[in-house]
């Protein structure tokens, strides 16, 4: 059930069916010269639309902004602070809880480290405070990274590379603008640097030229299956 398309009576009625809501997160972030800025939004949107065809849970609107660190200086990226993400997420979770929902899955199509840490911090705090709340903060890429990596020919594929390009070829081929060259960042880890674009000019981490729509469809199914597994687990508790 797509939350924003329900009427008030429909919302009340559907609470008798499920107490589970999926809250998706994306990012407006550079994805090389070939993928759109809303790549993370598009992938999680489409994956969860497939999920709700198989499980009658609530699906909230995708939050399009995220915490972007490595890409924050690249053209097109619009980043928010971890504090902003924590405050927004806490308010949303408290509100859906007040309306009767008890199982909350914070599902992020953006896997940035500070971004995910902010979501997990909120989950840890609220599960201690709100009785009967079951909550998870997860990026599908975290829990099925091994399965997804087996689809890719590229080792160390991470951003705007083979996997994400394959997913976009499967889901939104009209938004794919050619295929960028293979690239990997040369950031001087573990140091933090101000001018990240200098060390990563193309914004690609992997090899988009290895991408295919077939690989994208396989990856999508893995993501959908994992989210369904999480739903089934939390609803049996």
Task: Going residue by residue through the chain, which has 237 residues, state the pLDDT in tens, using 9 for 90 and above.
Answer: 999 999 999 999 999 999 999 999 999 999 999 999 999 999 999 999 999 999 999 999 999 999 999 999 999 999 999 999 999 999 999 999 999 999 999 999 999 999 999 999 999 999 999 999 999 999 988 989 889 999 999 998 999 999 999 999 999 999 999 999 999 999 998 999 999 999 999 999 999 999 999 999 999 999 999 999 999 999 987
> How high is the pLDDT of residue 1?
92
Report the predicted TM-score, pTM, of the whole model to 2 decimal places: 0.96
- For the chain, domains (ranges, CATH) are 3-236 (3.40.50.10310)
> How high is the pLDDT of residue 24?
98
The full DSSP string for 162-220 is HHHHHHHHHH-GGG--S-PPPB-----TTS--S-HHHH-TT--BB-GGG--HHHHHHHH
> How high is the pLDDT of residue 145?
86
What are residue 102's phi and psi, to 5 degrees? -125, -20
């Amino acid at each position: 059930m797509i939350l924003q398309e329900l009427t008030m009576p429909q919302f009340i009625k559907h609470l008798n069916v499920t107490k589970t809501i999926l809250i998706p997160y994306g990012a407006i972030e550079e994805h090389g010269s070939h993928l759109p800025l809303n790549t993370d939004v598009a992938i999680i949107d489409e994956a969860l639309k497939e999920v709700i065809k198989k499980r009658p849970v609530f699906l909230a609107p995708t939050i399009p902004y995220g915490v972007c660190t490595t890409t924050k200086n690249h053209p097109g990226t619009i980043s928010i602070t971890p504090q902003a993400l924590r405050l927004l997420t806490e308010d949303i979770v408290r509100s859906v809880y007040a309306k009767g929902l008890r199982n909350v899955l914070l599902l992020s199509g953006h896997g940035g480290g500070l971004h995910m840490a902010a979501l997990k911090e909120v989950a840890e705090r609220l599960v201690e405070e709100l009785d009967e709340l079951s909550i998870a903060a997860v990026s599908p890429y975290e829990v099925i990274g091994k399965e997804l990596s087996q689809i890719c020919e590229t080792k160390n594929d991470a951003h705007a590379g083979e996997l994400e390009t394959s997913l976009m070829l499967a889901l939104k081929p009209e938004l794919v603008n050619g295929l960028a060259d293979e690239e990997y960042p040369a950031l001087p880890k573990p140091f933090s640097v101000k001018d990240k674009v200098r060390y990563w000019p193309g914004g690609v981490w992997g090899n988009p030229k290895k991408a295919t729509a077939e690989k994208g469809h396989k990856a999508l199914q893995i993501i959908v299956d994992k989210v369904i597994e999480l739903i089934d687990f939390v609803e049996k508790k």
